[in-house]
Amino acid sequence: EVQLVESGGGLVQPGRSLRLSCAASGFTFDDYAMHWVRQAPGKGLEWVSGISWNSGSIGYADSVKGRFTISRDNAKNSLYLQMNSLRAEDTALYYCAKPASRGRPYYFDYWGQGTLVTVSS
């Protein structure tokens, strides 16, 4: 059974940093790209970032480019999101998402339960 378990969320002041993790199991992690998608309270879904299976291809939404860094450790079956210079508008539930296929295109067949990031003073 595929499982994606996010952690690392919490309350953080504006301008500070936070690192999210996603522990994956139930599939061959290093066969798949992985992505982060967020959802602000009461709002819609926003793609944040994606990373290829070998970390060779990485993409970011314009809203987080230069502040967030995605990475993965295939030996640990884990995905990460380093979030720096956090802003109030980064407040959201952050989901780890697995694409349905090994290569592009990317739509998602499994999602974690999300980890909540609240940016507030």
Partner 1 sequence: DIQMTQSPSTLSASVGDRVTITCRASQSISSWLAWYQQKPGKAPKLLIYKASSLESGVPSRFSGSGSGTEFTLTISSLQPDDFATYYCQQYNSYSLTFGGGTKVEIK
Chain residues in the site for partner 1 (CB under 8 A): 35, 44-47, 50, 59, 61-62, 95, 100, 104-109, 111-114
- Nearest distance from residue 121's CB to partner 1, in Å? 27
Residue with smaller CB distance to partner 1, 107 or 121: 107
Nearer to partner 1, 2 or 15 (CB): 2
Nearest distance, CB of residue 49 and partner 1, angstroms: 10
E strands of the chain, at which residues?
3-7, 10-12, 18-25, 34-39, 45-51, 58-60, 68-73, 78-83, 92-99, 108-111, 115-119
Would you say 73 or 109 has its CB closer to partner 1?
A: 109
Q: Which is nearer to partner 1, 16 or 43 (CB)?
A: 43
Provide Rg for the chain, Cα atoms: 13
Q: Nearest Cα to 51, choosing from 79, 19, 29?
A: 79
Whether the CB-CB separation of 53 and 31 falls below 8 Å is answered with yes
- The rounded distance, in Å, linking the Cα atoms of 62 and 104 is 20
- Min separation Cβ 114 and partner 1, Å: 7
Give me the amino acid identity at 61.
Answer: A
Q: Cβ 108 to partner 1, closest distance in Å?
A: 6
